[in-house]
């Protein structure tokens, strides 16, 4: 699973990355996690509102700070699907 966190580095974006890492840790998901800081790069990914979480090329959260629990639900559904 490849997970991108898109955001310019604001506190909410940093917290989103932390929550993504924690959710993966709790679910024991060995994901490739990356933070994209360049506005032009995440615009190419289709991100309009940050922070955004992109899993395997699909935007799964955007414009809000997702909690660890919300991310666990999202990742579990993707893993099972």
The domain segmentation of the chain, as residue ranges, is 2-80
Cα separation, 80 vs 40, whole angstroms = 32
pTM for the structure as a whole:
0.94
Instruction: Write down the catalytic residue from 6, 13, 52, 54.
Output: 13
- Number of C-alpha atoms within 13 angstroms, CB side, residue 67? 3
Per CATH, the number for 2-80 is: 3.40.30.10
- Residue 12 token pair: 């909410």
> pLDDT 10s per residue in the chain (81 long)?
999 999 999 999 999 999 999 999 999 999 999 999 999 998 999 999 999 999 999 999 999 999 999 999 999 988 766
In DSSP terms, which residues pair with 32 in a beta bridge?
2
Please name the residue that has the structure tokens 């959710």. Answer: 23
20, with CB counted inside 10 A (0-12, 13-18, 19+), is: buried
Catalytic residue among 1, 10, 39, 48: 10
24 included as an active-site residue: no
- Is 13 labeled as catalytic in the residue annotation? yes
């Amino acid at each position: 699973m490849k997970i991108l966190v898109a955001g310019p580095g604001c506190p909410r974006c940093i917290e989103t990355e932390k929550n993504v890492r924690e959710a993966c840790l709790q679910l024991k998901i060995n994901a490739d996690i990356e933070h994209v800081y360049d506005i032009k790069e995440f615009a190419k990914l289709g991100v309009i509102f940050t922070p955004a979480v992109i899993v395997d090329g699909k935007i799964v959260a955007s414009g809000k700070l997702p909690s660890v629990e919300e991310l666990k639900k999202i990742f579990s559904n993707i893993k099972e699907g």
